[in-house]
A and B are shown apart, each in its own frame.
Chain A
Amino acid sequence: MSETAPLLQLDGVNTHIGPYHILQGVELMVPRGGLTMLLGRNGAGKTTTLRTIMGLWHASAGRVRFDGAEITAWATPDIARAGIAYVPENMGIFADLTVRENLLLAARAGDIDEGRLRWVFGLFPALKKFWSLPAGFLSGGQKQMLSIARAVIEPRKLFLIDEPTKGLAPAIIMNMIAAFRELKQTAATILLVEQNFMFAKSLGDTVAVMDNGRVVHSGSMAELAEDRDLQHRLLGLSLDSHQ
Chain B
Amino acid sequence: MTDIDAGELAKSRHYDWAPLLLLPLLAIAALPLIGSLSTWATLTAAGLAMGMIIFIIASGLTLVFGLMDVLNFGHGAFISVGAYVAAILLVPLSGLLQADSLALNILALLALIALAMVATGLLGWAFERVIIMPVYGQHLKQILVTVGGMIVAQQLIIVLWGPVQLSFPLPTAFRGAIVLGDVAIERYRVIAVVVGFLVFAGMLLVLNRTKIGLLIRAGVENREMVEALGYHIRRLFVGVFVAGSTLAGLGGVMWALYREELTPGMGMEVLVLVFIVVIIGGLGSIGGCFLGSLLVAVTANYAGFLAPKVALGSNILLMVLILLWRSRGLYPVANR
Tell me the A35-91 residues at the B interface (CB within 8 Å): 54, 56, 75-77, 80-81, 86, 88
Per a CB cutoff under 8 Å, which of A88, A98, A99, A129 touches B228? A88
Tell me the A131-173 residues at the B interface (CB within 8 Å): 131-134, 136-137, 150
Q: Which residue of B lies closest to A96 (CB)?
A: B334
B14 touches A108 (CB 8 A): no
B-side contacts of A105, CB under 8 Å: 214-215, 218, 226, 229
B33 at the interface (CB under 8 A from A): no
Q: Scoring B residues 46 to 59 as 1 if CB is less than 8 Å from chain A, else 0, what string do you get?
A: 00000000000000
B133 to chain A, nearest CB (A): 15
A106 at the interface (CB under 8 A from B): yes
A96 touches B217 (CB 8 A): yes
Known contacts A129-B3, A130-B7; decide if A56 and B224 are in contact (CB<8 Å).
yes
B-side contacts of A99, CB under 8 Å: 7
**CA of A131 to CA of B10 in the docked complex: distance in angstroms?**
11
B-side contacts of A80, CB under 8 Å: 227-230
B334 touches A88 (CB 8 A): no
A95 at the interface (CB under 8 A from B): yes
Q: Which of A132, A134, A150 has the most CB of B within 10 A?
A: A132
Tell me the A174-201 residues at the B interface (CB within 8 Å): none
Per a CB cutoff under 8 Å, which of A95, A106, A133 touches B221? A95
Q: Which residue of B lies closest to A132 (CB)?
A: B7
A112 at the interface (CB under 8 A from B): no
Q: Which of A88, A94, A129, A133 has the most CB of B within 10 A?
A: A94
A129 touches B218 (CB 8 A): no
B335 touches A77 (CB 8 A): no
B333 at the interface (CB under 8 A from A): yes
A92 touches B222 (CB 8 A): yes
Tell me the B283-336 residues at the A interface (CB within 8 Å): 333-335
B3 touches A128 (CB 8 A): yes
| Majority secondary structure of chain B interface residues (helix, strand, loop or mixed) | helix
Q: Which residue of A lies closest to B218 (CB)?
A: A94
**CA of A77 to CA of B235 in the docked complex: distance in angstroms?**
11
A-side contacts of B231, CB under 8 Å: 77, 108
Known contacts A105-B229, A106-B229; decide if A94 and B217 are in contact (CB<8 Å).
yes
**CA of A232 to CA of B211 in the docked complex: distance in angstroms?**
50
Known contacts A128-B3, A132-B8; decide if A81 and B217 are in contact (CB<8 Å).
no
B7 touches A129 (CB 8 A): yes
Q: Which of A54, A92, A97, A150 has the most CB of B within 10 A?
A: A92
**CA of A54 to CA of B224 in the docked complex: distance in angstroms?**
11
**CA of A240 to CA of B8 in the docked complex: distance in angstroms?**
47
**CA of A156 to CA of B326 in the docked complex: distance in angstroms?**
42
B-side contacts of A101, CB under 8 Å: 214, 217-218
**CA of A188 to CA of B224 in the docked complex: distance in angstroms?**
24
B10 touches A108 (CB 8 A): no
A7 to chain B, nearest CB (A): 18
**CA of A35 to CA of B334 in the docked complex: distance in angstroms?**
33
B159 at the interface (CB under 8 A from A): no
Known contacts A96-B333, A133-B10; decide if A77 and B214 are in contact (CB<8 Å).
no
**CA of A80 to CA of B229 in the docked complex: distance in angstroms?**
6
A133 touches B222 (CB 8 A): no
B-side contacts of A86, CB under 8 Å: 228
A204 to chain B, nearest CB (A): 24
B227 touches A76 (CB 8 A): yes
Tell me the B193-226 residues at the A interface (CB within 8 Å): 211, 214-215, 217-218, 221-222, 224-226
Q: Scoring B residues 1 to 21 as 1 if CB is less than 8 Å from chain A, else 0, what string do you get?
A: 001101110110010000000
A29 at the interface (CB under 8 A from B): no
**CA of A108 to CA of B231 in the docked complex: distance in angstroms?**
9
A117 at the interface (CB under 8 A from B): no
9 nearest interchain CB pairs?
Answer: A95-B334, A80-B230, A92-B225, A132-B7, A76-B227, A129-B3, A133-B7, A81-B230, A86-B228
Other than A75-B227, A131-B7, give 17 A-B pairs with Cβ distance below 8 A. Answer: A75-B232, A80-B230, A81-B230, A88-B228, A92-B222, A94-B225, A95-B221, A96-B333, A104-B214, A105-B214, A105-B215, A108-B230, A108-B231, A128-B4, A132-B8, A134-B11, A150-B229
A-B contact pairs, 24 of them (CB 8 A): A76-B228, A77-B229, A77-B232, A80-B227, A86-B228, A88-B225, A92-B228, A94-B217, A94-B221, A94-B222, A94-B225, A95-B335, A96-B221, A101-B214, A104-B214, A108-B229, A108-B230, A128-B4, A129-B4, A129-B6, A130-B7, A132-B8, A133-B7, A150-B229
Chain A positions near chain B (C-beta within 8 angstroms): 54, 56, 75-77, 80-81, 86, 88, 92, 94-99, 101, 104-106, 108, 128-134, 136-137, 150
